[in-house]
Structure 1
Amino acid sequence: MSELTSLTLKTALEGLDAKRFSAAELTQAHIEALEAARALNAYVLETPDKAMDMARASDARRASGDAGRLDGAPLGVKDLFCTEGVRSTACSRIIGDFIPQYESTVTAKLWRDGAVMLGKLNMDEFAMGSSNESSAFGPVVNPWRADGGNTKLTPGGSSGGSATAVAAQLCLGATATDTGGSIRQPASFTGTVGIKPTYGRCSRWGVVAFASSLDQAGSIARTVEDAAILLTSMSGHDPKDSTSLPVETPDFASFVGKSVKGLRIGVPKEYRVDGMPAEIDALWEQGIAWLKDAGCEIVEVSLPHTKYALPAYYIVAPAEASSNLARYDGMRYGLRVEGDNLTETYEKTRAAGFGEEVKRRILIGTYVLSAGYYDAYYLKALKVRRRISEDFDAAFERVDALLTPTAPSAAFSLGERSDDPVAMYLNDIFTVTVNLAGLPGMSVPAGVDAKGLPLGLQLIGRALDEGTLFSIGAALEKAAGFTGKPQKWW
């Protein structure tokens, strides 16, 4: 049945439509695949019984001619999304064995359209990380390995479980979230496609909060078209989320294959940073050439405040995190460590429940919000954020989309940067601007480095113009012809 797990989401749905196999057979093949791949640590909770029940229900709907757009498609769900009756922990000890009595809006939309849940996917604790090493369940291992090497590599973070599961064929697609690059960087590291839509395109209701003005759900899949199919189901206005945009959801897959001739593609000069590996720069130039060949016009643009984006992000995001994570105190649910008094109970619970990276960000966030420092740090960061957004506004008066590298390197070894938080934070150098401005961004696999590891190119679009990104992304995908898959070693 292993050939069933190698299908794309689109070809799997076509096979189900043509009755070449059943949803139960497709789901069973994926259950067997993920059970055989536990060495990757992609799933923190497997739900095979629930998956088979959902698959059989899907087969019944197809038999009665009542199939939804995703009916029978086995998916993985990042553990940041609350799933009714299924443990949801944000991969943190402090949430414990919390079982929600409600469903996140995004996953509810997927189940409405007939998708099947295989289980909950590993991630950095509370989505704070760029390597998936801060999870309470241990790190995820990238299915890719360097040519001739057996060193375990990071799949990126925070959506490392989602990216690994898609790359290793342990699901047809996965939900993910992106606060500063957490969809796009793992997609780049694993040779998958990741789309972070416009802020407000997907509801945040039922998604555990990290930084509420930056967090956005999106999809990771094997192809641009698969990512588009998933995002169409995930999107839509939600009155339960005050930041959800009251706009219609287009059929994003309909943009795949459209001509990109005449589109103006911006190349921001500020993204040519000192010390960038030559192969990243060479891939970027290759991407520019591919889009030229497809009929696009290349325009150099300036985003002058880019150099301030990373420090601004690492003030705004921790500040919001310190506020959002104040609710985890051992009083209502999750971990509780008793102390001699209320204050000591709070202290002991939070000391035992939060991991080191989460503690670091809470401390930074609390500091920048404190009296005497609020104006100097947080308020200034908000002003920089506004300038970054204005830079994009000016650029999009001249161009239809921007092309940049996704990440400054290919996947690195687990443990390689865990002792240097600043080096880890630099992974987000090309991605955080998109979150600060609330824009859509996509990573498309475009080549490999000298060690045979995948590299991605990033597309950035106007707000609510994901369709153009899918058109350009599909053109890049076609030109790159990336068909690489990790050699199975697990």
Structure 2
Amino acid sequence: MKQYTVLSALQALENKTYTCEELVAKSIDCFEQDLKTDAPLNAFLEIYADALVQARRCDEERDRALAQGPDALKNLLAKKPLLGIPFGVKDNISVRGKSLTCASHILEGYTAPYNATVIQRLVDAGAVPLGRCNQDEFAMGSSTEYSAYGPTRNPINRTYVAGGSSGGSAAAVASGMVPFALGTETGGSVRLPASYCGVYGLKPTYGLLSRWGITAFGSSLDQAGVFGVTPDDIALPLRIMSGKDFYDDTSEDIPAGCEINSPCPPLADTEFASLKIAVPRQFAEAKGLDEEVAGIFEKVQTWFKERGSSIELVDIPVLDASIASYYVIALSEAASNLSRFDGIRYGNRKDRGEGYDDLFIQTRSEGFGAEVKRRIIIGNYVLSDQFSGTYYKRAMGVRARIQREIAALYKTYSCILCPTCPTPAFKLGQKTEDPMAMYLSDMFTVFVNLSRTASLNVPAGTTSAGLPVGVQFAGPMFSENRLLSMAKAWHTGRNGEKK
């Protein structure tokens, strides 16, 4: 059972092929075996010491219900549909009593005092948090090379990056350590590593998942996301986690008619025939689009056309300003959010006894890495009295226009189809000294975050070097169920084979 899905794991538990404890033990064994390799993935920073204990409790709960009869077990599983299923947690999501470092030295020694809402809802459903996954420091990066604890390697080729910032979560799923994992997105940090590692990765509608307990990067952009081997690996956890949360005023319930199905049925051929798909000209003809990525994207378009879908090249000029608008807004919000890490309230403190100013400077200078410092400096520069009206307000104006134009486009088109990233994964160290090249990795993803809509990375093929390439199925707000159904049809293929 090298790699398993959520549904196959649930089936194995039902058939008594495995116990919950054995299932979690297999995940831990996969992690430990990886540590023995010459180039460990570094997907997990820590395996939680009580993971096996939690799994045994799941077995005991299942056994007690079974002893009362089939109906009791059925009722238990209705309340706890993920009973005994392990999952990975990005290191910026709070798990009560566990370390939370955001892959930064400044938070070394910090223990989360409560569960994030997304964690609490999964735990209430019986899922077992296996451990915390590596990431770019404070989720700032596109390759997971900016982690204070070293980069995460790509499971397909370990000399390449896994993508970021949620690279640890993507690698953990792609390598078979867990059937699903949580990440977070501010500008593509779930979809990008999902593309590089060849797994599914969903960025949900802003507000569908509560942000309570998730360390903020850009508050108006941040959203938790899910990785899985199949669309169904995303559908069930997503259904469980979604909905209004008392602790997050930006959270929302799923509107009627947009409920998430699990298992998600594949979109029917008749529904494909009614799809009208937009391909942004700004992405299809983008400078820097890799030839092999473009070729794979063409094959995906052909697949849709063979099923009767209509595809049109659409000109959306405002997309040319999306990457600039995104970084002005994201870095401004990051500078504000990270001001709380001052050596007094959280984590590490560097105090030479020379006053608050010295404590503040030393703590942040030694605690933050180079990329985080770069973004704080730029963010504060943008927000300074001299420039906030020039840059930040203008960026917010561009964002408002992107929201309007994308919303208007979805009144005519069913979805947007585009590559997830202009290139496949790049080699470790290739872009760490070139921040602009790193930032441009997000050029096809940030419009989704700016417009607060939904998008799913779908594994679409591999390059001649064997590196995965993903495409995005993007849709309007609360279109997750349809996007997952489209992906389910793609995953099973026209003849029922796995794509």
Q: TM-score range by the shorter chain?
A: over 0.9
- Please say if 1:241 is aligned against 2:269: no
Which sits farther off after the overlay, 333-342 or 313-322? 333-342
Q: How does 1:470-489 map to 2 (within 5 A)?
A: 470-479=484-493
- Please say if 1:290 is aligned against 2:338: no
Q: CA deviation at 1:19?
A: 2.0
Q: How does 1:75-86 map to 2 (within 5 A)?
A: 75-86=87-98
Q: CA deviation at 1:46?
A: 1.0
Partners of 2:179 and 2:381 in 1: how far apart? Answer: 42
Partners of 1:15 and 1:470 in 2: how far apart? Answer: 24
Is the contact made by 1:269 and 1:300 (CA closer than 8 Å) also made in structure 2?
Answer: yes
Q: How does 1:10-409 map to 2 (within 5 A)?
A: 10-38=7-35, 39-47=40-48, 49-63=49-63, 64=65, 65=73, 66-67=76-77, 68-145=80-157, 152-247=159-254, 250-259=259-268, 260-261=271-272, 262-271=274-283, 272-339=285-352, 340-409=354-423
- For 1:302, the aligned partner's letter is D
Partners of 2:292 and 2:166 in 1: how far apart? Answer: 25
Is the contact made by 1:252 and 1:466 (CA closer than 8 Å) also made in structure 2?
Answer: no
Q: CA deviation at 1:483?
A: 6.1
Partners of 2:251 and 2:153 in 1: how far apart? Answer: 34
Partners of 1:59 and 1:423 in 2: how far apart? Answer: 49
In the TM superposition, what whole-angstrom CA distance separates every residue of 1:264-320 from its partner, at most 9, and x where no partner exists? 111111112023111111111111111122232223323220010001111000000
Partners of 1:413 and 1:483 in 2: how far apart? Answer: 28
Q: CA deviation at 1:372?
A: 1.3
Unaligned runs of 5+ in 2: 66-72
Which sits farther off after the overlay, 72-81 or 253-262? 253-262
Q: CA deviation at 1:50?
A: 1.3
Partners of 1:276 and 1:219 in 2: how far apart? Answer: 26
- For 1:300, the aligned partner's letter is L
Partners of 1:421 and 1:62 in 2: how far apart? Answer: 51
Unaligned runs of 5+ in 1: 146-150, 485-490
In the TM superposition, what whole-angstrom CA distance separates every residue of 1:124-161 from its partner, at most 9, and x where no partner exists? 0100000101111111111112xxxxx61100000000
Is the contact made by 1:315 and 1:368 (CA closer than 8 Å) also made in structure 2?
Answer: yes
Partners of 1:89 and 1:327 in 2: how far apart? Answer: 14
Partners of 2:417 and 2:346 in 1: how far apart? Answer: 45
Is the contact made by 2:218 and 2:333 (CA closer than 8 Å) also made in structure 1?
Answer: yes
1:269–1:239: structure 2 CA closer, same or farther, 3 Å change rule? same
Partners of 1:117 and 1:331 in 2: how far apart? Answer: 29
In the TM superposition, what whole-angstrom CA distance separates every residue of 1:315-348 from its partner, at most 9, and x where no partner exists? 0000000000000000123111114111111011
Partners of 2:460 and 2:253 in 1: how far apart? Answer: 34
Percent of matched pairs sharing the same residue: 41
Partners of 1:251 and 1:384 in 2: how far apart? Answer: 32
Is the contact made by 2:288 and 2:422 (CA closer than 8 Å) also made in structure 1?
Answer: no
- For 1:351, the aligned partner's letter is S
Is the contact made by 2:491 and 2:498 (CA closer than 8 Å) also made in structure 1?
Answer: no
Q: CA deviation at 1:58?
A: 1.3
Correspondence for 1:442: 456
Partners of 1:478 and 1:301 in 2: how far apart? Answer: 29
Partners of 2:107 and 2:412 in 1: how far apart? Answer: 47
Is the contact made by 1:180 and 1:428 (CA closer than 8 Å) also made in structure 2?
Answer: yes
Partners of 2:287 and 2:267 in 1: how far apart? Answer: 36
1:482–1:165: structure 2 CA closer, same or farther, 3 Å change rule? farther
Secondary structure, counterpart of 1:58 in structure 2: helix
Is the contact made by 1:446 and 1:477 (CA closer than 8 Å) also made in structure 2?
Answer: no
Partners of 1:291 and 1:429 in 2: how far apart? Answer: 24
Q: CA deviation at 1:254?
A: 4.8
Partners of 2:393 and 2:497 in 1: how far apart? Answer: 44
Is the contact made by 1:30 and 1:171 (CA closer than 8 Å) also made in structure 2?
Answer: yes
Is the contact made by 1:91 and 1:135 (CA closer than 8 Å) also made in structure 2?
Answer: yes
- For 1:114, the aligned partner's letter is G
Which sits farther off after the overlay, 384-393 or 411-420? 384-393
Partners of 1:329 and 1:179 in 2: how far apart? Answer: 23
Correspondence for 1:488: none
Is the contact made by 1:50 and 1:117 (CA closer than 8 Å) also made in structure 2?
Answer: no
Partners of 2:291 and 2:153 in 1: how far apart? Answer: 26
Is the contact made by 1:143 and 1:164 (CA closer than 8 Å) also made in structure 2?
Answer: yes
Correspondence for 1:487: none
Partners of 2:44 and 2:55 in 1: how far apart? Answer: 19
Correspondence for 1:148: none
Partners of 1:244 and 1:328 in 2: how far apart? Answer: 25
Which sits farther off after the overlay, 237-246 or 185-194? 237-246
Secondary structure, counterpart of 1:44 in structure 2: strand
In the TM superposition, what whole-angstrom CA distance separates every residue of 1:205-227 from its partner, at most 9, and x where no partner exists? 00011000000001001011111
Secondary structure, counterpart of 1:367 in structure 2: helix
Secondary structure, counterpart of 2:391 in structure 1: helix
Moved >4 Å (runs of 4+): 480-484
CA root-mean-square deviation: 1.5
Q: CA deviation at 1:187?
A: 0.3
Correspondence for 1:460: 474
In the TM superposition, what whole-angstrom CA distance separates every residue of 1:157-216 from its partner, at most 9, and x where no partner exists? 000000000011111110111110000000000000000100000000000110000000
Partners of 2:488 and 2:470 in 1: how far apart? Answer: 13
